[in-house]
């Protein structure tokens, strides 16, 4: 078997094994303003999940997402595409925390997700790696 074929078999086996390790429990976090005025949220991502996957923040107050991924070889990112609400993010994730800052300008529910995909497999979003940022008054 050639090296490229071996690599494809290994990648397939890794994805096949992790497909069943998905955590389907939904977790909500309601942020509150800290004394410095920031709403801070810690997020952990991993094999096709974000924890928490439902985040509630207040409109007009700055938000800091502290996000990292669990150890592993699968690459992940976070995408939030809500320019009308002042939230535009596309950031690759690593085991070192990244800080993403924005100030939501408009109430509503805005999806966040991982848009990574390998070959002919389902995208990470299709596997459940998505969530909602809910901006309230």
Of residues 72 and 3, the one with the higher pLDDT is: 72
Say what percent of the chain tops pLDDT 90: 76
Say what percent of the chain tops pLDDT 70: 82
Domains defined for the chain, CATH in brackets: 3-136 (2.60.40.420)
Burial profile 85-108: b = 16 or more Cβ within 10 angstroms, e = fewer: bebebeeebeeeeeebebebeeee
Which DSSP symbol is given to 41?
A: E
- Which of 6-15, 48-57, 72-81 has the weakest average pLDDT? 6-15
**Does the pLDDT value for residue 137 go beyond 50?**
yes
| pLDDT category of residue 78 using cuts at 50, 70 and 90 | very high
Q: Where do the DSSP E strands lie in the chain? A: 28-30, 39-46, 49-51, 54-58, 63-69, 77-82, 87-92, 98-102, 108-113, 130-136
């Amino acid at each position: 078997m050639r090296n490229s074929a071996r690599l494809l078999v290994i990648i397939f086996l890794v994805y096949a094994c992790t497909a069943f390790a998905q955590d389907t429990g939904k977790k909500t976090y309601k942020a509150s303003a800290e004394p410095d005025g920031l709403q801070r949220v810690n997020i952990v991502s991993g094999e096709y999940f974000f924890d928490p996957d439902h985040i509630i923040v207040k409109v007009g107050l700055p938000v800091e997402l502290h996000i990292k991924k669990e150890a592993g070889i699968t690459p992940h990112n976070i995408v939030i595409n809500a320019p009308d609400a002042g939230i535009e993010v596309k950031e690759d994730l690593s085991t070192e925390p990244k800080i993403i800052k924005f100030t939501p300008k408009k109430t509503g529910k805005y999806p966040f997700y991982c848009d990574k995909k390998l070959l002919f497999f389902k995208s990470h979003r299709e596997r459940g790696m998505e969530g909602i940022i809910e901006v309230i008054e």
